[in-house]
Amino acid sequence: MKYHFEVVVRLKGGLLDPQGKAIEDSLPHMGWTSVSNIRVGKHIELDVEAESEDEAQADVDEIAAQLLSNPVIEEVEVQAASAKGWTRYQAEATS
């Protein structure tokens, strides 16, 4: 069975987010002066072939901790697509 996951990586609070700052600095030029605290993260999607969703989740947790994020500077969150009510990949997997 194939399971779909979404991994979100964020820079830890307190660390300068250069991309967020660059975006923030550009907004006043467009007339927006009411926006602050822009933080840019990474959104990674992946499929895992496994016997169960729990097994797949354990794999993704390990991949997320070892490669997709660096605990020194980032926080990482793994979510199964099923938990978000997504159905497209589940339909694919069962077809």
Partner 1 sequence: MSSRGHRVGVVTFPGSLDDRDALRAVGFLGGEGVPLWHADPDLHGVDAVILPGGFSYGDYLRTGAIARFAAVMDPIREFAQAGGPVLGICNGFQILCEAGLLPGALIRNRSLRFVCRRVHVRVETSLSAITAGLVAGEVLEVPVKHGEGQFVASPDDLARIEGEGLVLFRYCATDGEVDDGYNPNGSTHAIAGLRNERGNVAGLMPHPEHAVDPDTGPVGGQPLLTSLLEQALVRA
DSSP assignment, residue 12?
A: P
Binding partner 1 by CB under 8 A: which of 32, 54, 65, 70? 70
Kindly give the residue spans of alpha helices, DSSP state H, lying in the chain. 18-26, 53-63, 88-94
Backbone angles phi, psi at 12, to 5 degrees: -60, 150
Of 27-35, 53-61, 66-74, 81-89: span binding partner 1 (CB under 8 A): 66-74
Contacts with 20 (C-beta within 8 Å, 6 or more apart), sequence order: 37, 38, 39, 40
Of 19-27, 28-36, 49-57, 86-94: span binding partner 1 (CB under 8 A): 19-27
Under the binding rule (CB under 8 A), the answer on residue 30 touching partner 1 is no
Under the binding rule (CB under 8 A), the answer on residue 72 touching partner 1 is yes
Q: Which residues bind partner 1 (CB under 8 A)?
A: 11, 15-16, 18-19, 21-22, 42, 67-68, 70, 72-73
